[in-house]
Structure 1
Amino acid sequence: MLLDYRGANNCVAVITLNRPKALNALSDPLMQELNCTIAEAEAQPNVAAIVITGSEKAFAAAQSRQFNKDNHTSVAVPPPTGADIKQMQTRNFVQVYKDNFLSGWDRVSSSPRVVIAAVNGYALGGGCELAMMADIILAGEKAKFGQPEINLGTIPGAGGTQRLVRAIGKSRAMQLCLTGEMINAKQACDWGLVSAVYPPDQLVDEAVKLGEKIASKSKVALQICKEAINKLKLGNQRCT
């Protein structure tokens, strides 16, 4: 995990996921490290915005944990570190569920700072869900978004079935989740999943510029506005 401060008075923290060999595949240890890095950035008094990005090839390709559709077990996709391998040992679904395997995965969405996801390359499965935890998503022209879990006999497990509906509507969310299809950056922008699309080599700079613009506003007002928008809930509304 890389942390840098940019913009006027270092008002924008840039966090880079740094597991290129694994396409920044998400795991509990990586999310814990991300949470600690976010906390470190939040502790800086000048920081009003946080940019989260990955490599040009992948923002985050998937979660390291996948579920086997035949015997309902949680199977580890071999990650690059010993800590990850120990953490992702195979467990059955009941054990994983009882252990609250998503605890700590909502730190991005609960940050009092404005979080911008700068997505280059693949944002699939947990990677797409991580991007949706941010307040604003910017994409590189070659970015790909998707929830391919259905191809593994499971469903999005880190908020994808809720956040995706809020972002692009029920019908399109159903289409992505039920087919496992990917969409490109332009389509994601047309559907409202991302705010803007930039050339890959300009993406992070544009995210920092946006962060600087946001940082020029009242921090109190920013936090109140963010909390108010995030209060939106989709209830079980019946059409009559």
Structure 2
Amino acid sequence: MNKFINVYSEDGVGIIQLDRPKVLNALNRQMVDEIVSQLESFDRNDSVRVIVLKGNERAFAAGADIEEMMNETPLSLELLNPFAEWDKISLIKKPILAAVNGFALGGGFELALHCDLIIASEDAKFGFPEVKLGVLPGAGGTQFLTRAMGVRKALEWIWLGEQMTAREALHYGVINRIVAPELVVEETMRLAHQLTKQAPIAIRLIKEAVHAAADVTLQEGKILERKNFYLAFSSEDQKEGMCAFTEKRTPSFKGK
């Protein structure tokens, strides 16, 4: 049984809701374990095509649980290896969408950045305040933010530890869309349901190719793209998609 998240599904969309409202969904290790375990479960579930992560009205997640880590030592952290669970998120093959209301700070911002798309409320706030605690992001924040906005702007935001508005996050390419606070979940689910109608095999191969673009040379990226393009032609979805196009009808993709 999950203690810190609520889980359900709706028409091909698996939903994970963070549920520690008294501490603005601050992430402790058990909560991260539950999130990752459920992501993996949804990834294996053929009835789920898209995954949505959401918080509540006040916060997506307002950071990590400071009390849990304040007495750690370098050796205890090395032996615990707490970020190994986070690394598993990047192995999820299905699209992950984040619906962000309120605060997404520290570990909460890192969790959102692990998602493929981020839809935020107009009053959402993003940031890495770790520098004010004498530390730095440890679950990939320096890497994800730099890939999104470039070295100089990432350094500025992480060095200063200031909160970024949704408008600023959109301007720098950190998030995808901004909507009114009461429409964040609705817009995220609308986009998720739109993605469930796309060819699942193609969606999976596109995700792999696009994420690889940040880590490999242009030539290596083109080789991966080409192999994935060829691989798509082994799917029933490719036959269905092209037949539907020539027959002028809406395709019905099965993920096979």
Question: In 2, Cα distance between the equivalents of 1:121 and 1:160?
Answer: 19
**Amino acid in structure 2 at the alignment position of 1:195:** N
Query: Secondary structure of 1:95's partner?
Result: helix
Deviation at 1:129, TM superposition (A): 0.5
Residue aligning to 1:164: 145
Residue aligning to 1:4: 8
Residue aligning to 2:207: 226
Residue aligning to 2:17: 16
Residue aligning to 1:109: 90
Residue aligning to 2:71: 90
Residue aligning to 1:124: 105
Percent sequence identity over aligned pairs: 35
**Amino acid in structure 2 at the alignment position of 1:40:** S
Deviation at 1:225, TM superposition (A): 0.5
Question: In 1, Cα distance between the equivalents of 2:54 and 2:76?
Answer: 32
Question: In 1, Cα distance between the equivalents of 2:27 and 2:147?
Answer: 23
Residue aligning to 2:189: 208
Query: Secondary structure of 2:57's partner?
Result: coil
Q: 1:12 to 1:90 in 2, by over 3 A?
A: same
**Amino acid in structure 2 at the alignment position of 1:4:** Y
TM-score (norm: length of structure 1)? 0.84
Residue aligning to 1:44: 45
**Amino acid in structure 2 at the alignment position of 1:12:** V
Does the 8 A contact of 1:167 with 1:193 survive in 2?
yes
Q: Which runs of 4+ in 1 moved over 4 A?
A: none
Query: Secondary structure of 1:104's partner?
Result: helix
Query: Secondary structure of 1:31's partner?
Result: helix
Deviation at 1:187, TM superposition (A): 1.1
Query: Secondary structure of 2:118's partner?
Result: strand
**Amino acid in structure 2 at the alignment position of 1:51:** V
Question: In 2, Cα distance between the equivalents of 1:89 and 1:143?
Answer: 27
Query: Secondary structure of 1:156's partner?
Result: coil
**Amino acid in structure 2 at the alignment position of 1:109:** S
Q: Deviations over 1:150-196 (max 9, x none)?
A: 00111111101100001111111111110001111111111111100
Query: Secondary structure of 1:217's partner?
Result: coil
Does the 8 A contact of 1:106 with 1:133 survive in 2?
no
Q: Deviations over 1:6-58 (max 9, x none)?
A: 2xxx1111110000001111111001111222233234322111010101111
Structure having the larger proportion of residues in helix:
2
Greater CA deviation, 34-43 or 174-183? Answer: 34-43
Q: Deviations over 1:97-155 (max 9, x none)?
A: 23212111123332111000111100000100000000011101110000110001111
2:132 corresponds, among 151, 165, 172, to 151
Higher relative contact order (CA 8 A, sep 6+): 1
Does the 8 A contact of 1:189 with 1:196 survive in 2?
yes
Alignment length, in residue pairs? 213
Residue aligning to 2:240: none
Query: Secondary structure of 2:88's partner?
Result: coil
Structure 1 position 133 matched with structure 2 position 134:
no
Deviation at 1:89, TM superposition (A): 8.0
Q: Deviations over 1:188-209 (max 9, x none)?
A: 1111111000111111111111
Question: In 2, Cα distance between the equivalents of 1:107 and 1:54?
Answer: 20
Q: 1:151 to 1:89 in 2, by over 3 A?
A: closer
**Amino acid in structure 2 at the alignment position of 1:99:** L
Question: In 1, Cα distance between the equivalents of 2:89 and 2:24?
Answer: 20
Residue aligning to 1:185: 166
TM-score (norm: length of structure 2)? 0.79
Residue aligning to 1:80: none
